[in-house]
Amino acid sequence: MIGVLITLLSATTFGINHAMIRRGVISGTVTQAVAISMPVGLAFFIAVALLNGQLGVVTQFSPFALVMLAAAGIVHFVFGRYCAYRAIAAMGVNLATPVTQWSMLVSLVLAMSFIGEKIDAIKLLGIGLILLGPALLAARRGRRRATATATASTFKPRMVEGYTFAILACFGWGSSPVLVRAGLEGPGQALAGGVVSYAAATLVIALLMLVPGQRRDLASINAKTLRWFSGTSIMTTISQMLLYFAMALAPVIVVQPLLRFQTIASTIAGWYLNRQHESFDRGVLWAIGVSMIGAVLLALDGQTLMRILDLPAFLAPVLAWRWPG
């Protein structure tokens, strides 16, 4: 029960963070958001690992584990986060969400390729719903162009840029769990692993800040934007820590579906923070809901669904199907 509550809290803070990022990039840049988040995240992870007695575990990692965890940090916190924030800046959280849900599809493909996981009927259904979400958005935009309906919102999404970076974010966020799984040898290494990942990401950002243009961009941030990005940095780090604790207390098969609650949390938070900078019409909300259900199904399996929903016995052979067999 505690693991479930911590997972829901993690999902809620993730969702609020997405809405806060959307607000911040209205006046600031994505580079500023990413650059500020790295040292804050590293400091938080070091502090918590020190308090939990896990900081010394860093020295126990094998060279292979260090490489995998460092790669996960660079891929997730630098590449994935930058691309996701660019997508949010271009077309808002609500339009980006159905696409960024594809990260779970990337994780599944990589897990099947490298660590022998299998696909089943439930995951196939989940894949179909995840792919359907962006298709609903595309159909919606086609109807809106055909009718040329006026809108009171001042938000004009840049769809090509948004879709491009949302898809790239999926590869960053979708591949990092496989790298983390390869690097961690037990749950007692989670916080130490986070320290390694954040340290590698912070080093990359520090090197990028040596480029004069990037350094000028960071220095040009105003006080209001700095407050938003500082708040999001703290919020996303808390979310990551809560997720680590949840994974230590509850099975993955419970945590991953519940984590999709962040989609609902970001939509609600966006309504209060960014109403003039997001799309909230019925078509967008349907697309978000469909893709979220697909992501939940992708984290489940047939036997678990049979048990949770008490489905009829004649469905068991269908839900027991696996590929490769």
Residues 40, 255 contacting (CB under 8 angstroms): no
List, for residues 176-234, the tens digit of each pLDDT value: 878 887 888 766 787 898 899 999 999 999 999 999 999 999 999 999 899 889 888 88
> What is the Cβ-side half-sphere exposure of residue 39, based on CA atoms within 13 angstroms?
9
List, for residues 41-94, the tens digit of each pLDDT value: 899 889 988 998 889 999 999 999 999 999 999 999 999 999 999 999 998 888
Query: Would you say residue 142 has pLDDT above 70?
Result: no
At residue 150, the pLDDT reads 40
Min mean pLDDT across 3-7, 230-234, 315-319 is at 3-7
Structure tokens at 218: 């960071």
Return d(Cα 26, Cα 276) in angstroms, integer.
11
At residue 167, the pLDDT reads 94
Helix boundaries (H) for 184-222: 190-208, 212-219
At residue 188, the pLDDT reads 75
The DSSP secondary structure of 91-159, one letter per residue, reads HHHHHHHHHHTHHHHHHHHHHHHHS---EEHHHHHHHHHHHHHHHHHHHHHHHHHHHT---S------H
At residue 81, the pLDDT reads 93
Return d(Cα 167, Cα 173) in angstroms, integer.
10
- Whether a cis peptide bond, with omega within 30° of 0, leads into 324 is yes
Return d(Cα 64, Cα 214) in angstroms, integer.
32
At residue 312, the pLDDT reads 83
pLDDT band at 2 (very low <50, low <70, confident <90, very high): confident
List, for residues 281-314, the tens digit of each pLDDT value: 777 788 878 888 887 787 777 777 777 778 888 8
In sequence order, which residues have a C-beta less than 8 Å from that of residue 310 and are 6 or more positions away?
none
At residue 140, the pLDDT reads 60
